[in-house]
């Protein structure tokens, strides 16, 4: 690892923009007297964890009025001596102060994640807590935020910890049976083993139920627009963002690279991605753009196929990962007469005019059969506004709705955002484990338990029981993060921001 010992300094509150107060933290020093040359305050009188007002001085000049807090080891975030300086938050000022402390007191500036690494090294945090902290700091969705908190010190942390304790209980029971069964009483130990095992297996099952492969995409939900050239992808992209972000033109192949922008809907940060239109081409650059778009769609949380209704036929979906589309938007729907296109069963679709931002028809479940032509809704007829519980469109073949009147216009943008959010909510409700490493560890744990089979309940051959439990231990220490390899640590700590 690139981290080394000795005192380190950083601004923990971020210096990207001005703020009233910034918090500079210094950890890993042996004695507070180190700071005396720069602080106008008798450091012998500092009371741990109390706020002290003082001044930073250099060459007889006052540089700032600050609040200082001292957290002596081991009762600090890092487990080392830690000093917090609450200074005024101009980024230039903060950088100047950090440089001053570095140069005058020979304190090295910290790397990203180095404070957290020290907390981990000094056993203030387990590896899964470190990952929780990282998730908490970078969360883009309420689900990730919540899971960050749950991992850091909440229910998920408790569940992992309980699993680890139970496995220690199982190990202890076996050790007792091997060495001390006469002293403790064999029946009591066997009883203790089976009670711990029952709770252990139940807890494993609870966690395993939360392993869903889609969870990766919930951490950073991306919505990809894919379709042939000129279908209206960029028009829809701009509509969804509410700004002219992508170039719209009737020239085929206008978008060559992908373009993305974030959008917050119901507190969730979604990322919409406009891609190059798909067509056969000899142009190498265009081909690269198309392939980038297809790759993005593979990993996307929500895939929207955009097609021009006028050109849409049985063959339109061939060549696209159509079965994976979450929604198909058929554009250029002005003057729609009720001749329904053949869309693959099960994929919801919208017939719309993007230039007018209107939805004419929404088939959320099944396309309507030829025998049930759409009834235009008159201006006077009541129109159900779109809601989660009662989507507009034909709920069954017998109840088609459309087109939407001016009294209750339904913008394509709002409808689509709502559909994206509905999928997000549905997937989130199972509380999936968002970190891939955790899902892999839990899968490995379950695989190991299943491969041990009913032997796990038996204590007939203690040598076999002990070796079986050793296999379970290996999976659990991976999950909780005891002695993980350096490479894994590098991966995790590299993601941290400066100051943590
Ligand atoms: N009438 C009508 N025109 C539309 C509609 N949607 C898009 N257009 C027009 O269709 C043309 C192509 O739109 P774009 O959004 O640039 O299409 P694209 O899919 O991004 O095209 P490429 O970037 O070439 O792949 C533009 O002239 C749009 O104004 C629609 O629903 N109705
Ligand atoms: Mg485009």
Q: Please report, in tens digits, the pLDDT of each residue of the chain (500 residues total).
A: 678 889 999 999 988 888 999 999 999 999 999 999 999 999 999 999 999 999 999 999 999 999 999 999 999 999 999 999 999 999 999 999 999 999 999 999 999 899 999 999 998 988 888 889 988 998 888 889 989 999 888 888 889 989 988 988 898 888 888 877 666 677 888 898 999 999 999 999 999 999 987 788 888 899 999 999 999 999 999 999 999 999 999 999 999 999 999 999 998 999 999 999 999 999 999 999 999 999 999 889 999 999 999 988 877 787 776 558 999 999 999 877 777 787 776 788 999 999 999 888 888 754 344 444 333 333 333 333 333 333 344 333 333 344 444 444 568 999 999 999 999 998 888 888 888 889 999 999 999 999 999 899 988 888 999 999 999 988 888 887 665 556 656 666 666 666 66
Cβ–ligand 1 distance for 332 under 6 Å, the answer yes
**CA 473 – ligand 2 centroid, Å:** 53
User: Residue 384's pLDDT is what?
Assistant: 37
pLDDT value, residue 409: 54
What secondary structure, in 3-state letters, does the chain show? CCCCCCCEEEECCCCCCCEEEEEEEEECCCCHHHHHHHEECCHHHCCCCCCEEEEEEECCEEEEEEEEEEECCCCCCCCCCEEEEEEEECHHHHHHHHHHHHHHHCCEECCCCHHHHHHHHCCCCCHHHHHHHHHHHHCCCHHHHHHHHHHHCCHHHHHHHHHHHHHHHHHHHHHHHHHCHHHHCHHHHHHHHHHHHHHHHHHHHHHHCCCCCCHHHHHCCEEEEECECCCCHHHHHHHHHCCCCCCCCCCCCCCCCCEEEEEEECCEEEEEEECCCECCCCCHHHHHHHHHHHHHHHHCCEEEEEEEHHHCCCCCCCCCCHHHCCEEEEECCCCCCCCCCCCCCCCCEEEEECCCCEEEEEECCCCCCCCCCCCCCCCCCCCCCCCCCCCCCCCCCCCCCCCCCCCCCCCHHHHHHHHHHHHHHHHHCCCCCCCHHHHHHHHHHHHHHHHHHHHHHCCCCHHHHHHHHHHHHHHHHHHHCCCCCHHHHHHHHHCCCCCC
pLDDT value of residue 337: 75
The pLDDT value given to residue 489:
65
Which of the listed residues 349, 353, 354, 360 should we mutate to test ligand 1's pocket, taking the one with most ligand atoms within 8 A of CB? 354
Kindly provide the b/e burial profile for residues 464-497, where b requires at least 16 CB atoms within 10 angstroms of the residue's own CB: ebbebbeebbebbbbbbbeebeeeebeebbeebe
pLDDT at residue 177 in the model: 85
| Two tokens, residue 293 | 């778009």
Residue 275, ligand 1, Cβ within 6 A: no
233 in contact with ligand 1, CB cutoff 6 A: yes
Identify the pLDDT of residue 67.
97
The verdict on whether omega for the bond into residue 74 sits within 30 degrees of 0, i.e. cis, is yes
Spacing, Cα 231 to ligand 1 middle (Å): 5
Chain centroid offset of residue 427 CA: 13
What pLDDT, on a 0 to 100 scale, did the predictor assign at position 142? 87
Taking only the tens place, the pLDDT of each residue in 447-465 is 999 999 989 998 888 899 9
Q: Could you tell me the strand order of the sheet in which 302-308 lies?
A: 259-265, 268-274, 222-226, 302-308, 327-331, 349-353, 358-363
**Ligand 1 pocket member 305 (CB < 6 A):** no
- Does residue 232 have its Cβ closer than 6 Å to ligand 1? yes
CA distance 326 to 372: 24
Our answer on whether the CB atom of 223 is closer than 6 Å to any ligand 1 atom is no
User: Is any ligand 1 atom within 6 A of the Cβ of residue 281?
Assistant: no
User: Could you tell me the end-to-end alpha-carbon distance of the chain, in angstroms, rounded to an integer?
Assistant: 16
Backbone angles phi, psi at 453, to 5 degrees: 65, -145
- Tell which residue, 328, 327, 325, 302, has the closest CA to residue 427: 302
pLDDT of residue 480: 78
Task: Give the whole-angstrom CA distance, residue 489 versus residue 500.
Answer: 15
Q: How many CB atoms lie within 10 A of CB 244?
A: 12
Q: How far is the CA of 289 from the centre of ligand 2 (A)?
A: 11
Task: State the pLDDT at residue 385.
Answer: 34
Given the DSSP bridges, would you call strands 8-11 and 19-27 parallel, antiparallel or unpaired?
antiparallel
- Candidate of 227, 230, 307, 413 to mutate for ligand 1, largest count of ligand atoms within 8 Å of Cβ: 230
């Amino acid at each position: 690892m690139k981290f080394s010992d000795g005192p380190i300094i950083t601004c923990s509150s971020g210096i990207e923009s001005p703020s009233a107060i910034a918090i500079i933290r210094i950890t890993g020093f042996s004695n507070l007297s180190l700071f005396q040359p720069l602080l106008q305050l008798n450091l012998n009188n500092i009371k741990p964890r109390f706020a002290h007002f003082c001044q930073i001085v250099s060459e007889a000049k006052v540089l700032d009025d600050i609040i200082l807090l001292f957290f002596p080891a081991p009762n600090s975030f890092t487990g080392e001596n830690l000093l917090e300086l609450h200074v005024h938050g101009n980024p230039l000022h903060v950088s100047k102060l950090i440089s001053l402390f570095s140069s005058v007191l020979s304190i090295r500036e910290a790397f990203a994640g180095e404070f957290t690494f020290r907390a981990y090294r000094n056993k203030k945090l387990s590896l899964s807590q470190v990952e929780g902290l990282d998730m908490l700091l970078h969360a883009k969705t309420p689900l990730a935020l919540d899971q960050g908190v749950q991992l850091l010190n909440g229910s998920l942390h408790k569940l992992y910890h309980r699993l680890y304790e139970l496995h220690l209980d199982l190990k202890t029971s076996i050790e007792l049976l091997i060495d001390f069964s006469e002293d403790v009483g064999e029946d009591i130990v066997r009883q203790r083993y089976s009670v711990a095992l029952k709770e252990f297996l139940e807890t494993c099952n609870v966690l395993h139920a939360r392993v869903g492969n889609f969870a990766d995409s919930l951490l950073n939900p991306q919505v990809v627009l894919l379709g042939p050239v000129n279908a209206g992808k960029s028009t829809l992209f701009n509509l969804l963002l509410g700004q002219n972000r992508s170039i719209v033109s009737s020239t085929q192949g206008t978008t060559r690279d992908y373009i993305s922008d974030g959008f917050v809907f119901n507190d969730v940060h979604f990322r919409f991605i406009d891609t190059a239109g798909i067509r056969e081409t000899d142009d190498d650059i265009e081909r690269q753009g198309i392939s980038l778009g297809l790759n993005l769609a593979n990993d996307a949380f929500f895939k929207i196929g955009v097609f021009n209704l006028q050109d849409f036929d049985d063959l339109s979906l061939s060549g696209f990962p159509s079965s994976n589309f979450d929604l198909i938007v058929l554009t250029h729907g002005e003057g729609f007469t009720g001749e329904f296109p053949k869309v693959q069963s099960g994929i919801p679709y919208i017939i719309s005019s993007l230039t007018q931002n209107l939805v004419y028809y929404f088939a959320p479940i099944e396309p309507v059969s030829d025998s049930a032509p759409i009834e235009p809704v008159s201006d006077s007829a009541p129109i159900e506004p779109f809601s989660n519980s009662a989507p507009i469109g034909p709920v069954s073949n017998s109840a088609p709705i459309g087109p939407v009147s001016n009294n209750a216009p339904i913008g394509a943008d709002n409808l689509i955002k709502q559909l994206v959010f509905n999928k997000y909510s549905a997937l989130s409700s199972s509380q999936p484990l968002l970190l891939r490493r955790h899902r892999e560890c839990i899968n490995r744990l379950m695989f190991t338990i299943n491969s041990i089979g009913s032997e796990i309940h038996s204590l007939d051959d203690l040598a076999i029981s002990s070796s079986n439990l050793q296999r379970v231990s290996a999976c659990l220490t991976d999950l909780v993060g005891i002695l993980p390899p350096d490479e894994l640590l590098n991966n995790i700590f590299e993601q941290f921001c400066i100051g943590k």
